[in-house]
């Protein structure tokens, strides 16, 4: 079978060019007679791979020099604990926006370690600034720029004054340029826009290091990772290598400004297909707050869901089933999804609506 | 270049047959048009891969039904904190054997959470039972069956009576059959005898679940993983898949009894080459306690180290440089190292000694 257009929310489609390169050097990396998977993380070959990946990510995101880039494990879910353990003490107040399922998970875990103040809650629109209830004494303000399940996205970085801003960028990182200097900490699980599952990237302003509370496990202290170039112990070497290949691919494509143009256009095409379907398809999110990366939509008649999924799969458009919490469909259209994939889905949706509308 | 014999201590050589299979299905897993790296961990394809890997590991190690098998992240270093957080409360006493660098790391981290009693300390021989000072009230007894750096290995499971025995098996798991029922918890980083770095396997007796102390991060609570088939969040899907391929390969080879015969023979050949070199090579470990997996050795004249390393590398025998703590050489000869690789190293060592002795 040829490569399909895979709309999985994560682990997600990888660029085919990246997969082909990884395949070609699988058993013999750069003439060494070994896979990069098989070499010591402390050897010169792997160290070069690791440093190159970091340098390329720094270039892609224009990360200022006073930020450390960490390549960790455990996913965003482990960050939900690491953020409060590293940035606040027991009893401290921390501010969280609640814009959906992933915000709620972050809030639930942080509540085990701090006093959480919910700044504002909405699941189908980004809360207006007039509704925000920021705490005067919060140690940081946390938000989820893109909700993978709900499909809503902050189009602007929230202005929280001089507070430390923390963002779970798992499903939006690398989709467009962002001003890293506005953030205290950015974290992201790799399995959407970065690379394979099992890698977590943390970008942290260096003055926030060294503040972990007493009793924080060494592996959960950002300082341990920062002091050891993310090699306090053996990192997830192969996912890190794959992420490096993705970063190179993004630079070749023109970087994040170029990706943003494509990503916005891909999203607009898909939302237009939904909005112009005379109600056959629907998306509940306020149009100005819709995600560029995750497009959930429902069919007017849920009885057609199974047919839609079977026919799209047969047409090489896979993994469109929506998250069980919201039902319906979800098309995740990360950087690796070619515009041709979105075009094929839009054409299918139009045809399906014609046949069943 | 042809595949080399790679003696890295970890990340380590993988079976070439496994790498070839992974390469073949890299872009199109089982006719799906996707890599297994690109599919949701909650989909039926990946779930089948994950369950098969667990079932094969259970068969290989004859894991009793009252043990959970967890596929986690973070390496043994994260387990150094998870073990005390899950099995003991602050102020509780826990017993640790100290047989080298990895024991010491485990002790250092556990000491942040409990009162650690060191049962016995030796770095070139396994402590005799007559020297052990077990605590009457220890919540568990921890040991490192194989010290990757020092190259010494317990050839018998220590008899700790009815105490919960915990083992860091990172560099010995799957090298020979063991009686899992003797243990409370077995853990191992994957990057030596299991698969790629970024995966950690924990085998835990189910009555030990649900005892994590208050304040343990959810991701560090074994119960969270056990309740969710190691998918509380996205696991390291590709390393888990690769581990599954290794387990299939081991079953094809005849399982752990067959591997033990080969591993013991490989080790004996290498130690014989050292011991019969008239002092040109030396290994400091008591012969009965020598590791089957990691064979450190020094050259009589350390000035020859660089020549030895250059000549072995040129001969396709790579990654033989010893750990900086002990210097000299180290040949790690895990399951994936063919006996022919050991034969080639032994032949080289003999020739080198003839030329330089």
Distance of CA A59 to the CA centre of its chain: 18
Contact B173/B193 with Cβ under 8 angstroms?
A: yes
Interface touch A23/B19, C-beta < 8 Å: no
- Joined together, the tokens standing for residue B327 give 């210097």
pLDDT, mean over chain A: 97
Question: What amino acid positions of A are annotated as catalytic residues?
Answer: 102, 168, 192
- For chain B, what percent of residues have pLDDT higher than 90? 98
Q: Which of B192, B266, B289, B321 is catalytic?
A: B192
CATH architecture of A17-252: 3-Layer(aba) Sandwich (3.40)
Give tens-digit pLDDT for A146-201.
999 999 999 999 999 999 999 999 999 999 999 999 999 999 999 999 999 999 99
Q: Which of B14, B112, B217 sits opposite A37 (nearest CB)?
A: B14
Query: Could you tell me the sign of the dihedral formed by the alpha carbons of B21, B25, B31, B34, in that order?
Result: positive
Scanning A70-109 for CB atoms below 8 A from B yields 73-78, 80-82, 85, 109
- Work out the minimum CA distance from B105 to partner chain A, whole angstroms: 11
* ipTM of this predicted structure: 0.97
Residue A282 has pLDDT above 60, yes or no: yes
E strands present in A184-309? 185-189, 200-205, 281-282, 294-299
Query: Does A15 reach chain B within 8 Å, measured CB to CB?
Result: no
Residue B72 has pLDDT above 70, yes or no: yes
Q: How far apart are CA A196 and CA B209, in angstroms?
A: 30
Q: How far apart are CA B200 and CA B220, in angstroms?
A: 12
E strands present in B190-274? 200-205
pLDDT at B302: 96
| Cβ atoms within 10 Å, residue A178 | 20
Q: How far apart are CA B11 and CA A17, in angstroms?
A: 26
Instruction: Give DSSP secondary structure letters for B32-52.
Output: SSS-GGGS-TTSHHHHHHHHH
Q: Which of B11, B81, B234 sits opposite A39 (nearest CB)?
A: B11
Instruction: Give DSSP secondary structure letters for A141-197.
Output: EEE-SB-TTT-BB-SS----TTSPEEEE-TTTTTSS---GGG-SEEEEESTTTTSST
Which run of H or of E encompasses A101?
helix A101-110
Residue A80 has pLDDT above 90, yes or no: yes
CA-based nearest residue in chain B for residue A4: B33
Longest dimension (CA), chain A: 63
pLDDT, mean over chain B: 97
Instruction: Give the up-direction half-sphere exposure of residue B204: CA atoms within 13 A in the CB hemisphere.
Output: 26
Q: Which of B16, B73, B220, B243 to mutate to test the interface with A (most CBs of A within 10 A)?
A: B73
| B320 pLDDT tier (thresholds 50, 70, 90) | very high
CA-based nearest residue in chain B for residue A170: B234
Q: How far apart are CA B339 and CA B117, in angstroms?
A: 40
What is the pTM assigned to this prediction? 0.98
Instruction: Give the up-direction half-sphere exposure of residue B42: CA atoms within 13 A in the CB hemisphere.
Output: 13
Burial level of B197, CB count in 10 A (0-12/13-18/19+)?
Answer: buried
Q: Edge-to-edge strand order for the sheet containing B115-121?
A: B67-72, B200-205, B185-189, B165-168, B141-143, B93-98, B115-121
Q: Which of A14, A34, A217 sits opposite B6 (nearest CB)?
A: A34
Residue A356 has pLDDT above 80, yes or no: yes
Show me where the domains of chain A are located.
17-252, 254-356
Residue A1 has pLDDT above 90, yes or no: no
pLDDT at B2: 83
Give tens-digit pLDDT for A122-146.
999 999 999 999 999 999 999 999 9
B286 is catalytic: no
Give backbone dihedrals phi and psi of A182, rounded to 5 degrees, phi first.
-80, -10
- Joined together, the tokens standing for residue B330 give 């180290």
Q: How far apart are CA B208 and CA B8, in angstroms?
A: 34
Q: Which of A15, A20, A32, A74 to mutate to test the interface with B (most CBs of B within 10 A)?
A: A74
User: Number of residue pairs across A and B with CB atoms under 8 Å?
Assistant: 227
- Joined together, the tokens standing for residue B345 give 């190293």
Residue B1 has pLDDT above 80, yes or no: no
Contact A215/B112 with Cβ under 8 angstroms?
A: yes
Q: How far apart are CA A253 and CA B342, in angstroms?
A: 46
| Cβ atoms within 10 Å, residue B221 | 20
Q: How far apart are CA A252 and CA B35, in angstroms?
A: 23
- For chain B, what percent of residues have pLDDT higher than 70? 100
Give tens-digit pLDDT for B184-202.
999 999 999 999 999 999 9
Query: Does A11 reach chain B within 8 Å, measured CB to CB?
Result: yes
| A2 pLDDT tier (thresholds 50, 70, 90) | confident
| A357 pLDDT tier (thresholds 50, 70, 90) | confident
- For chain A, what percent of residues have pLDDT higher than 90? 98
Report strand pairing: B281-282 vs B165-168: unpaired
Per CATH, domain A254-356 is 3.40.50.720: no
- Topology of domain B255-356, per CATH? 3.90.1150
| B357 pLDDT tier (thresholds 50, 70, 90) | confident
Q: How far apart are CA A183 and CA B9, in angstroms?
A: 39
Cα–Cα distances in angstroms (integers) from residue B168 to residues A85, B58, B144, B207, in the given order: 26, 18, 5, 19
Residue A236 has pLDDT above 80, yes or no: yes
């Amino acid at each position: 079978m040829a490569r399909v257009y895979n709309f999985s929310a994560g682990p997600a489609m990888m660029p085919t060019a990246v997969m082909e390169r990884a395949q070609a050097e699988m058993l013999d990396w750069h003439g060494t007679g070994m896979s990069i998977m098989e070499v010591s993380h402390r050897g010169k070959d792997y160290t070069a791979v690791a440093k190159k990946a970091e340098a390329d990510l720094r270039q892609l995101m224009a990360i200022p020099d006073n930020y450390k880039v960490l390549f960790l494990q455990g996913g965003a879910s482990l960050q939900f604990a690491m953020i409060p353990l590293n940035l606040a003490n027991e009893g401290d107040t921390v501010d969280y926006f609640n814009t959906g399922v992933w915000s709620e998970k972050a809030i639930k875990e942080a509540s085990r370690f701090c006093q959480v103040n919910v700044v504002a809650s909405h699941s189908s629109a980004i809360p207006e600034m007039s509704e925000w209830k920021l705490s005067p004494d919060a140690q940081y303000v946390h938000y989820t720029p893109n909700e993978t399940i709900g499909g809503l996205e902050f189009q602007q970085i929230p202005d929280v004054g001089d507070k430390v801003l923390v963002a779970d960028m798992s499903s939006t990182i690398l989709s467009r340029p962002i001003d890293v200097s506005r953030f205290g900490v950015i974290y992201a699980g790799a399995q959407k826009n970065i690379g394979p599952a099992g890698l977590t990237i943390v970008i942290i302003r260096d003055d926030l290091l060294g503040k972990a509370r007493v009793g924080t496990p060494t592996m959960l202290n950002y300082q341990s990772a920062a002091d050891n170039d993310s090699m306090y112990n053996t990192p997830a070497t192969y996912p890190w290598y794959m992420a490096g290949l993705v970063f190179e691919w993004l630079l070749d494509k023109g970087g994040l400004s170029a990706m943003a143009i494509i990503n916005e256009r891909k999203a607009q095409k898909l939302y237009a297909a939904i909005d112009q379907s005379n109600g056959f398809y629907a998306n509940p999110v306020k149009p100005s707050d819709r995600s560029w990366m995750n497009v959930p939509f429902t069919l007017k008649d849920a009885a057609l869901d199974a047919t839609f999924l079977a026919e799209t799969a047969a047409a090489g458009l896979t993994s469109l089933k929506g998250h069980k919490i919201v039902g319906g469909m979800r098309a995740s259209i990360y950087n690796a999804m070619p515009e041709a994939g979105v075009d094929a889905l839009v054409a299918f949706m139009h045809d399906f609506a014609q046949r069943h509308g």
